[in-house]
Amino acid sequence: MPEKKYDSEPDAPLSLSAFRHPGIIEFGWRGPDLGLQQIRHRAAGPVWRQLRQRLAEIVDIAGRLPGPEGQAALVDEIKNLGSLLYHNLVPDKVKELIAASARGLHLFLDWQTAAIPWEFLWDGRRFLAQAAPLTRQISLFRSAMAPATRARNVLVVADSAQGQLPAAEDEARAIMALYEKHGVPADLIGEDARRSELLALVASHGIVHYAGHQDTESSRPGWRCADGLFSGRHFSALDRVPKLLFSNSCGGARLSPSSLAYAVLERGVGSFVGPVWKVPDHAARDMALNFHRALLEGETLARALFKVRRRQSGQAAWAGYVIYAPPEIGLRDLL
């Protein structure tokens, strides 16, 4: 197993909370004396409405899976929204803290601020998530958290959508081969699996990676199985949960009370990665392969995704991915 990096470095990522109250966002952080410091920043209703409208437009454009020229235009749209967020939702003191934190940023969010695409805050020169590692943690009502499995293995689930997503099956086989090459036991199942079978397998694997289609049109979005959708209702029935789940599917990390992503976090999965909008098949495959490769090379989850975001800076796909995880977690903590 690769050695963990960065343990000897005394500085740590900036931990910043952002919670919404009527008309404001309250930011909090620990100062040099470890005392909690807070600042309240006005966030008027018109700004939130403009944010939702612009974000919906970006999700719509991304959903059309544009070609190279369209990708460049999409990146410009993301910059415009990132600039709007940076100048209207982030107070000057927080901007200073972020700029001074070369080791990255760990965000503690609530249900409303988790909808903000912090990853593409744009300061005029660079995106926040491409300047340093950025991770999230959300405060949910976790009334029925399940313990993490102690299994040291990997499950890869492939759904090619009956041949419509050929790169998904390639992605699944390549990820399985990566872990087996490093001596990590790995299992692969396809879209012919039944929900009961998937339920048992997810509960008995330390890392779960899903490559395929997620039905987001259903009232209960989920992964496709031979006998229906594996939704948040099924995930909530797990008696053990994986330590890392990568849901590489259209809108796999989009949060709503009925979403699979919500159930994953509510049930207590400690590390969760996925896109919040539709990502081109081959771009999604490259994101996943490079992420797992970096993880196996000894990077933390935070830095693994950061490296991928930097590597794919010419495309828009990286901006759709979010990660909910402690910033220091690496492969040794997962297996």
pLDDT in tens, the chain (335 residues): 444 333 334 468 899 999 999 889 999 997 665 578 899 998 877 888 888 899 999 988 888 877 777 888 899 999 999 999 999 999 999 999 999 888 899 999 998 899 999 999 999 999 999 999 999 999 866 667 899 999 999 999 998 666 567 788 899 999 999 999 999 999 999 888 899 999 999 999 999 999 988 876 667 888 988 888 899 999 999 999 999 999 999 889 988 888 999 999 999 999 999 999 888 888 899 999 999 999 999 999 999 999 999 988 778 889 999 999 999 999 999 99
| 221 and 125 co-located in one domain | no
In a domain, 59, yes or no: yes
Q: In CATH, what number is assigned to the domain containing residue 284?
A: 3.40.50.360
Q: Are residues 77 and 128 in the same domain?
A: yes
Domain shared by 119 and 194, yes or no: no
Q: Which two tokens stand for residue 304?
A: 């693994």
Written as one letter, the residue type at 293 is: R
Phi-psi region of 251 (alpha: psi -120 to 50; beta: other; left: phi over 0): left
Pairing, β 321-324 against β 271-275: antiparallel
Shared domain for 230 and 170, answered yes or no, is yes
Give a yes or no: residue 2 inside a domain: no
C-alpha span between 136 and 231 (Å, rounded):
23
Whether residue 244 lies inside any domain: the answer is yes
Question: Which alpha helices (DSSP H) does 13-146 contain, by range?
Answer: 45-63, 68-89, 92-100, 128-131
pTM of the entire predicted model: 0.92
Output the pLDDT for position 264. Answer: 94
Q: Do 31 and 98 share a domain, yes or no?
A: yes
Same domain, 27 and 128: yes
**Residue 201, CA distances (Å) to 157, 264, 293 in order:** 10, 15, 23
Q: How far apart are CA 261 and CA 272, in angstroms?
A: 8
Count of structural domains, the chain: 2
- The answer to whether position 6 is within a domain reads no
Q: Is the four-CA dihedral 221, 116, 306, 106 of positive or negative sign?
A: negative
The answer to whether residues 54 and 169 belong to one domain is: no
**Are residue 163 and residue 292 in the same domain, yes or no?**
yes
> Which SS3 state, helix, strand or coil, does residue 148 take?
strand
Tokens encoding 7: 């343990």
- HSE-CB for 315 with a 13 A CA cutoff: 20
Q: What single-letter DSSP state applies at residue 244?
A: E
Q: Which residues of 22-58 are buried (b: 16+ CB within 10 A; e: fewer)?
A: eeebbbbbeeeeeeeeeeebebeeeebeebeebbeeb
* Joined tokens for residue 274: 């996925």
Could you count the other beta carbons within 10 Å of the beta carbon of residue 257? 9
Question: For residues 141 and 266, is the Cβ–Cβ distance under 8 A?
Answer: yes
Domain that holds residue 111: 14-138
Out of 94, 111, 138, a domain closes at: 138
**Does residue 330 lie within any of the structural domains?**
no
For residue 4, the model assigns a pLDDT of: 37
Interatomic CA distance for residues 38 and 237, integer angstroms: 38
Cα dist from 43 to 13, 25, 79, whole Å: 26, 6, 20
All residues at 6 or more sequence positions from 35 whose CB lies less than 8 Å from its CB, including other chains: none
Residue 161 lies in a domain: yes
Boundary residue ending a domain (77, 111, 138): 138
Residue bearing tokens 């809108």: 251
Asked if residue 60 lies in contact with residue 74, where contact means CB atoms within 8 angstroms, the answer is no
Beta strand ranges found along 133-280 (DSSP E):
134-138, 154-158, 186-189, 207-211, 214-215, 222-225, 228-231, 244-248, 271-275
* 283 in any annotated domain: yes
**107/223 same-domain check:** no
